[in-house]
Structure 1
Amino acid sequence: MLLLVALLVSIGAGFWFLGDTVKRQFLGGSDPVTVAQASLEGLREQNRLSTFAARYVAVVTSKQSRLGLTAEKTLIMPGSVRYEVDMSKLRQEDLDWDAEAKRLRITLPAVEVVGPAVDLDTLREYGNGGILMRVTDVESALDAANRKAGQAELVRQAREATPMKLAKDATRRAVAQSFAMPLKAAGIDATVEVRFADEARGPSERWDVSRRPEEVIANKW
């Protein structure tokens, strides 16, 4: 049962992969392929990119009958998940520079759901059938079943279409900016489009890089 979906965008402030060495590369040349390759290497070194997190609540109930008696327990389990992309999987062929259109297309690995991280302090349990739970091991069996079902329910909620779309959109924007800023800093007027490997011809995020290089650098540094 889906009770709550609180979506928390956690896009990091600033572009963490732009170190001094990479910055000099961007400012020192105007070849878009070289600039894109430097951005690619910077992202790959970060290993995993997480730009989105969400919190959910699972409500599950388990029931058992023995000795002519019935016991049941309901568990309310809050938990959170992160949506990540394994940037180490990015390959050179995932970048496609269209010189005529001045457009860089990037294909990212699929978004992965990481978790859930269960908030143990806020777990709540309700039950009935105390007699059966006192004379048998039914309660421990019910608890185990509820915890397993609760975690599965949190993951199910996390993989629904709406949060997955929001996670993809947040990642698209972050990655598009990560390539667009150094391109503009190198004096290259271009657009950046980002899509995911599991999207046949899915939506892409186009990032406008029409600002002047000094504006980009001032905002970053």
Structure 2
Amino acid sequence: MAEVQPPLQPQPQPNRPIASLVAAIVAIIAALVIAKIGYDKYSEKYVVERRDDGVAVDRIVRATFTGASALKVGSLSGTVQSTASDVRGFGMLSSDKVVKAPFSVDYFVDMARMGGADYRWDQQARVLTILAPDVTVGAPNVDESATSVSETRGLYVTRAAAEALARQVSIGARRTAEVEARKPERIAAARENARRALAKLLGAPLEAAGVGNVRVAIVFPFERSGTTERWDASRSPQEILANAQ
């Protein structure tokens, strides 16, 4: 006689309407957050802050403090000339602009990239060698508020053309200053000054501790290949200082 199987019990089904509702709520919240971030960025860049009477006001729109551990080791300064041209009205309205303004570019060494393994002590030669990161070039600073020359030529310079010319000369001045700052001879001068600054900074603890006859040597990354010198890299700078007597 065939065995009678009990009827199958229905399996509980997930509550799909509730799951769909939760997913929709999450999607709406994400969309609102993205929209808020986008609106804040748009307001920061393009919305003009005004008083109740409609007059625009001077104010800080956004300010962020960022910590830094870079040591300034040099600065290049001078005067930069920048030019720009603009053509509109089917070639009938041409204009150009030239400015001369003071500029400066700073050079840095990022001390935060240095760790204990970058300090090498040669007990026999009494040389503390520092494996320093290379010099980096900062962003050019062009003071357009102190221009010595600012000439705009053209039969009729529209407002849009004037804005385009001003933007072009600003970009051109920064680009020209950066090219000058990155020339090999400028980088070489910054490196040599960095050697002196780092040797003085890192040699000060030795002098303060009364440790004499110690030379501090600064070695940049491009100088390290093929070296045959042997260093004790097993000790921290504190241990080197304690045992340099």
Q: TM-score, normalised by structure 1?
A: 0.62
Following the alignment from structure 1 to structure 2, what is the Cα–Cα distance between the partners of residues 126 and 163? 30
Give the count of matched residue pairs.
156
SS at match of 1:115: coil
User: In the TM superposition, what whole-angstrom CA distance separates every residue of 1:150-176 from its partner, at most 9, and x where no partner exists?
Assistant: 111111111122222222111111211
Following the alignment from structure 1 to structure 2, what is the Cα–Cα distance between the partners of residues 110 and 98? 22
Contact 1:56 1:154 in 2 (8 A): no
Name 2:186's counterpart in structure 1: 163
Name 1:55's counterpart in structure 2: 77
Cα displacement (A) at 1:200: 4.5
Name 1:116's counterpart in structure 2: 140
SS at match of 1:55: strand
Q: Identity of aligned pairs, percent?
A: 26
Following the alignment from structure 1 to structure 2, what is the Cα–Cα distance between the partners of residues 145 and 55? 21
Cα displacement (A) at 1:148: 0.8
Contact 1:183 1:189 in 2 (8 A): no
| Cα distance, 1:117–1:51 mapped onto 2, change above 3 Å | same
Structure number with higher strand proportion: 1
Structure whose alpha-carbon radius of gyration is higher: 2
User: In the TM superposition, what whole-angstrom CA distance separates every residue of 1:13-55 from its partner, at most 9, and x where no partner exists?
Assistant: xxxxxxxxxxxxxxxxxxxxxxxxxxxxxxxx98221132221
| Cα distance, 1:59–1:171 mapped onto 2, change above 3 Å | same
Does the alignment pair 1:152 with 2:175? Answer: yes
Following the alignment from structure 2 to structure 1, what is the Cα–Cα distance between the partners of residues 150 and 224? 44
Does the alignment pair 1:64 with 2:86? Answer: yes
Cα displacement (A) at 1:121: 2.6
Name 1:141's counterpart in structure 2: 164
User: In the TM superposition, what whole-angstrom CA distance separates every residue of 1:91-135 from its partner, at most 9, and x where no partner exists?
Assistant: 11211112222222111112122232222331232121131x13x
SS at match of 1:137: helix
User: In the TM superposition, what whole-angstrom CA distance separates every residue of 1:67-112 from its partner, at most 9, and x where no partner exists?
Assistant: 3322111122321121111101111121111222222211111212
Unmatched segments (≥5 aa) in structure 2: 1-66, 226-245
**Higher relative contact order (CA closer than 8 Å, sequence separation 6+):** 1
Name 1:183's counterpart in structure 2: 206
Following the alignment from structure 2 to structure 1, what is the Cα–Cα distance between the partners of residues 195 and 125? 20
